[in-house]
């Protein structure tokens, strides 16, 4: 049934993308299931999940950037200044934590809104999210079989 070939990879990509936006998703479950099935290599699964999740994070970054143009922060607002100062202090590497539940998605949005460099954001988001999926694949291989 050629039509259904690759459906698992598309499901993983879509799930990883949605999981990395402000909507909930279950990409870890899809990744674990596909890894257990053995139909795809772990490298392919890692690549598809990481690309989908990174693109979702960059979509959040883009939404933040768009919001910053529509609703620029008030320079004299103490909360705005504190946010900008925090990003300047920690810099783009804080986006390595973009994989964290509840924190990661708003972090990507805030990075776009605060206009963190797009290439630095892409790099750190991709590294953080890829590392997360690598750990999940390792756990599935080590503990489940």
End-to-end CA distance of the chain: 28
Closest CA to 53 of 94, 80, 97, 18: 18
More confident residue, 80 or 109: 109
Contact at 8 Å (CB) between 67 and 31? no
What's the pLDDT tens digit per position in 51-87? 999 999 999 999 999 998 888 766 667 776 676 676 6
Residues of the chain with pLDDT > 70, as a percent, come to: 86
- For residue 1, pLDDT beyond 50: no
Residues 127 and 105: their CA atoms lie apart, in Å, by 15
Query: Which residues, other chains included, contact 115 with Cβ-Cβ below 8 Å and sequence gap of 6+?
Result: 65, 68
Residues 22 and 36: their CA atoms lie apart, in Å, by 28
More confident residue, 74 or 102: 102
In eight-state DSSP terms, residue 116 is -
User: In the chain, where are the structural domains located?
Assistant: 2-144
Token pair 């772990």: residue: 42
At 25 the pLDDT is 74
pTM: 0.84
User: Taking the CA atoms of the chain, what radius of gyration do you get in angstroms?
Assistant: 17
Closest CA to 103 of 15, 14, 22: 22
Residues 94 and 115: their CA atoms lie apart, in Å, by 14
């Amino acid at each position: 049934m050629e039509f259904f070939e690759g459906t698992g990879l598309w499901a993983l990509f879509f799930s990883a993308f949605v999981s990395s936006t402000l909507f909930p998703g279950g990409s870890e479950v899809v990744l674990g299931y596909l890894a257990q099935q053995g139909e795809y290599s772990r490298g392919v699964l890692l690549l598809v999940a990481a690309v989908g999740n990174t693109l979702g994070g960059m979509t959040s970054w883009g939404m933040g950037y768009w919001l910053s143009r529509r609703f620029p922060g008030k320079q004299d607002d103490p909360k705005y200044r504190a946010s900008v100062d925090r990003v300047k202090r920690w810099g783009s590497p804080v986006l390595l934590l973009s994989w964290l539940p509840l924190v990661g998605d708003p972090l990507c949005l805030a990075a776009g809104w605060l206009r963190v460099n797009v290439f630095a954001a892409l790099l750190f988001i991709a590294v953080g999210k890829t590392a997360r999926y690598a750990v999940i694949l390792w756990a599935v291989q080590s503990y489940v079989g």
